[in-house]
C-alpha cells in the first residue's frame, strides 16, 4: 500500500481576495489543508466552500481583523482548539492609504502599521518556532516593490514593506540549516482590489499589471528551489527597476517616485 503523504496545513492571511485567494487556490490544488484569515466572513466562507468542493481539502475560515491587538491570540487559540499544526505560513494581509502624509488620519496610520508590521511579526513569532522544531515548513512574508524605494503619498505603507523585507531577510539568515524555508515575496503593480481600496487607480493607470496568479507562481517556483534566497521579486520589469533604484542616489529615487505617484500625471 502507498504511504499516505503527511498532511500539510497552510495559514494564509488576507485570504479573501487578490494574492491571498490565489495562494489559497494554489495550495489547495496541491492538496494542502488551509486556514484562511481575513476580515470578510462571507468571502472566506465562499472561498472555503469552493476549495473544499474542488479539491477535497479541509479549510478553516477565521474572520479576524488583524488591526485589533488580540487578533493573533484569537488565531492561535483557534488553532489549538481545532488541534491544527501549521506547516506553512503566508503573511499576506496588508493595506495602505494614498495621499500626502500630513493629510492622513493618525489613527488610521496606527491601524495600518498594526496590519502591515505588527501582525506579520506576531504571527511569525507564534508559529515559526514549531516549524523550526519540526525541521520543515515555510514562511512567506509578502512585501512589495514599495520596499525598495521611498514611496511618497504612501509613506507609511512603503516603510512598512521595507520593514517586512528586512525582517524576513534577517529571519532567513537566522533559520538557515533548520529545514524551514523563509523568504519575502515582493510584487509590483498587481490587478487586485488593493488599488481601488487604497485609491491608487489614477496613479497606476496604464501600468503593466501582473495577475495574482503570476505573483503566486513566482513564489511557488522560489519555494521549490533547493536553496532559495531570502527574497524574490515578481516580474522581470520589477526586478530590473529594483536594480536601477539601487544604483541611483537616494535624492534621485525619492524625487522620481514623487513624480511617478502624482495622480495628475495620469490625467
- What secondary structure letter does DSSP report for 85? -
Contact 97, 146 (CB under 8 A): no
Give the Cα separation of 234 and 144 in Å (integer).
Answer: 9
**Spatial contact of 37 and 66, defined as CB atoms under 8 Å apart:** yes
Neighbours of 21 (CB within 10 A): 24
Burial of 267 per CB tally in 10 Å (0-12, 13-18, 19+)? exposed
Q: Kindly list the catalytic residues.
A: 157
Residue entry with cell 492571511: 13
The crossing angle, in degrees rounded to 10, of helices 119-134 and 71-81 is 30
The whole-angstrom separation of Cα 12 and Cα 252 is: 37
Longest dimension (CA), the chain: 66
Phi, psi of 125 (to 5 degrees): -65, -35
For residues 242 and 257, what is the distance between their CA atoms, to the nearest angstrom?
12
Amino acid at each position: 500500500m502507498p504511504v499516505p503523504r503527511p498532511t500539510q496545513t497552510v495559514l494564509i492571511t488576507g485570504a479573501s481576495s487578490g494574492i491571498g485567494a490565489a495562494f489559497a487556490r494554489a495550495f489547495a490544488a496541491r492538496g494542502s489543508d488551509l486556514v484562511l484569515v481575513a476580515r470578510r466572513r462571507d468571502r472566506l466562507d465562499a472561498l472555503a466552500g469552493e476549495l473544499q468542493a474542488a479539491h477535497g481539502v479541509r479549510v478553516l475560515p477565521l474572520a479576524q481583523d488583524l488591526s485589533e491587538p488580540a487578533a493573533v491570540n484569537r488565531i492561535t487559540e483557534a488553532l489549538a482548539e481545532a488541534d491544527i499544526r501549521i506547516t506553512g505560513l503566508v503573511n499576506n494581509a496588508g493595506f495602505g492609504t494614498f495621499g500626502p502624509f500630513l493629510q492622513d488620519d493618525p489613527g488610521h496610520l496606527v491601524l495600518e502599521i498594526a496590519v502591515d508590521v505588527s501582525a506579520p511579526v506576531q504571527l511569525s513569532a507564534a508559529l515559526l518556532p514549531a516549524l523550526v522544531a519540526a525541521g520543515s515548513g515555510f514562511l512567506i512574508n509578502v512585501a512589495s516593490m514599495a520596499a525598495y524605494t521611498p514611496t511618497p503619498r504612501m509613506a507609511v505603507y512603503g516603510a512598512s514593506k521595507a520593514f517586512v523585507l528586512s525582517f524576513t531577510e534577517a529571519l532567513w539568515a537566522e533559520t538557515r540549516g533548520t529545514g524551514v524555508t523563509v523568504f519575502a515575496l515582493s510584487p509590483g503593480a498587481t490587478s487586485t482590489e488593493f488599488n481601488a481600496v487604497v485609491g491608487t487607480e489614477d496613479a497606476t493607470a496604464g501600468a503593466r499589471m501582473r495577475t495574482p496568479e503570476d505573483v503566486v507562481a513566482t513564489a511557488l517556483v522560489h519555494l521549490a528551489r533547493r536553496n532559495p534566497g531570502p527574497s524574490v521579486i515578481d516580474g522581470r520589469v520589477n526586478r530590473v527597476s529594483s536594480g536601477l533604484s539601487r544604483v541611483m542616489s537616494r535624492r534621485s529615487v525619492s524625487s522620481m517616485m514623487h513624480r511617478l505617484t502624482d495622480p495628475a500625471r495620469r490625467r
